[in-house]
Chains A and B, each alone.
Chain A
Amino acid sequence: DSGVTQTPKHLITATGQRVTLRCSPRSGDLSVYWYQQSLDQGLQFLIQYYNGEERAKGNILERFSAQQFPDLHSELNLSSLELGDSALYFCASSVGGLAGGIETQYFGPGTRLLVL
């Protein structure tokens, strides 16, 4: 158990809909990351938040947005869903704040999204 929780575990929805994925980081971690893993692909970095502020953006579509709340949990919002958005979405957390250092990221179990 990494200490990172994600809800829901599974989500089935239709094209055009909007969903929200939730992540609670490990206790004390300030940084949260979102990744997408499509079939047979590696994890694609989407976005990072540090202590409530966006720190870095990866290949995140404009239809997707995220935020980190004062209690440090994070939500990833996916809108106008398309079939190709079906994937595993992982959240990870790290201590955060290490200037120039590489921190171990601890991953949650993921949310499996299926868009029909």
Chain B
Amino acid sequence: DQQVKQNSPSLSVQEGRISILNCDYTNSMFDYFLWYKKYPAEGPTFLISISSIKDKNEDGRFTVFLNKSAKHLSLHIVPSQPGDSAVYFCAAPLYGQNFVFGPGTRLSVLP
């Protein structure tokens, strides 16, 4: 049973445009969400997070939006750059520090 879903395995965007990566969750107990980015041959690196008491968190070109009623969050990257090409994972702590990860979305930013 996938508690964190990323239904788009891949996404291609033109450089300079907006990238929107989506994530849905089923467990209403989740109250904190994280996005990780992964380049080939490297481990995931933390990108941005959001607590359920907020509906938006921004960090430079990256903004995460949370819609609790829809159990949906999205990561916006504006403007997209070729260096953003990576696999993006959505994650939530199930209990304590034990994260549940989605399957990831591969973003390709085309020059």
| Residues on A facing B (Cβ under 8 Å) | 2, 4, 31, 33, 35, 40-45, 48, 55-56, 58, 90, 92, 94, 102-110
Contacts and interface: CB of A to CB of B under 8 A. Distances in A.
Interface of B: 2, 4, 6, 9, 32, 34, 36, 41-46, 49, 89, 91, 93-104
B23 to A, nearest CB: 11
A98 to B, nearest CB: 8
A105 B44 CA distance: 9
Given A55-B96, A102-B49, A42 B102 contact: yes
Pairs A-B, 5 closest by C-beta atoms: A107-B43, A42-B101, A43-B101, A42-B103, A104-B46
Interface-centre pick from A42, A45, A56, A107 (highest chain B CB count, 10 A): A42
30 contacts: A2-B45, A31-B97, A33-B98, A35-B101, A40-B103, A42-B2, A42-B4, A42-B6, A42-B89, A42-B104, A43-B89, A43-B91, A45-B98, A45-B99, A48-B96, A48-B97, A55-B96, A55-B97, A56-B96, A56-B97, A94-B97, A102-B32, A102-B49, A102-B93, A102-B97, A105-B46, A106-B45, A107-B43, A107-B44, A109-B43
